[in-house]
């Protein structure tokens, strides 16, 4: 496989994840978490680091949810999110 084919493959995977988020996490919950994080960042006057769509651009998982390895709405409203809770990829780069 060429580098271009590999990149195309991952772009297609990412697009599919964005269009079809996991069924067990209501999309509005993720959107509420994103909004809570944006409000928290505005409140403490810091940049918003988390992925704008709630999907880690490194591992492709949804970072917001109710599972043990995801940020909850409460955490999004009270904590500055700077990395993926699953793969630990920093968003500060």
- Residue 92 within a domain: no
User: Is residue 18 within 8 Å of 28, Cβ to Cβ?
Assistant: no
| Closest alpha carbon to 50 in 2, 14, 89 | 89
Band (pLDDT 50/70/90 cuts) for residue 17 is low
pLDDT the model gives residue 20: 65
Global pTM value: 0.72
- Residue 89 within a domain: no
What's the structural domain count of the chain? 1
- Residue 86 within a domain: no
| Closest alpha carbon to 62 in 12, 26, 11 | 26
Asked whether the predicted pLDDT for residue 23 surpasses 90, the reply is no
């Amino acid at each position: 496989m060429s580098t271009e084919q590999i990149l195309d493959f991952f772009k297609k995977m990412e697009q599919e994840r964005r269009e079809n988020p996991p069924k067990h996490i209501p999309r509005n919950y993720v959107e509420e978490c994103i909004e809570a994080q944006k409000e928290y960042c505005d409140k403490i006057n810091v940049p918003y680091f988390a992925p704008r769509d709630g999907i880690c651009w490194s591992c492709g998982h949804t970072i917001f949810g109710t599972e043990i390895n995801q940020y909850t709405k409460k955490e999004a409203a009270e904590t500055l999110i700077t990395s993926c809770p699953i793969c630990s990829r920093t968003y500060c780069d």
